[in-house]
Amino acid sequence: GEDVEQSLFLSVREGDSSVINCTYTDSSSTYLYWYKQEPGAGLQLLTYIFSNMDMKQDQRLTVLLNKKDKHLSLRIADTQTGDSAIYFCAEGRSNDMRFGAGTRLTVKP
């Protein structure tokens, strides 16, 4: 089974904010990542956060990390139709990364 868990689907209206949640299990993970995957494509690195931080903002993206609860979230402000994709969170371990199953974000006009 997955060590990293995400809800499978999220649907929002264009212009609204999207919040994608993730829980992980390895407290020794030093970095936590968000990747975006569009149909038929590889993974695009969106942002990442170091485990000693609790928040990181990058333009429309805000990452929140609750290390005590091992909970990570990605907020996309002013969601656009081009944001429709699958979003993966991943925990960075010593030699590998563990991914969740992905959250499919659908943005309705």
Residue 66 burial (10 A CB sphere; 0-12, 13-18, 19+): exposed
Q: Is 10 in the site for another protein (CB under 8 A)?
A: no
Among 10, 12, 43, 61, binds another protein (CB under 8 A): 43
Q: Is 90 in the site for another protein (CB under 8 A)?
A: yes
Among 24, 34, 76, 99, binds another protein (CB under 8 A): 99
Q: Is 39 in the site for another protein (CB under 8 A)?
A: no
* Shortest Å distance, C-beta 90 to another protein: 8
How far apart CA 103 and CA 44 sit, in angstroms, is 14
- 51 vs 73 by CB, closer to another protein: 51
Q: Which two tokens mark 22?
A: 């993730």
> Is the Cα torsion angle 100, 46, 49, 9 positive or negative in sign?
negative
Q: Is 65 in the site for another protein (CB under 8 A)?
A: no
Give the CA diameter of the chain.
42
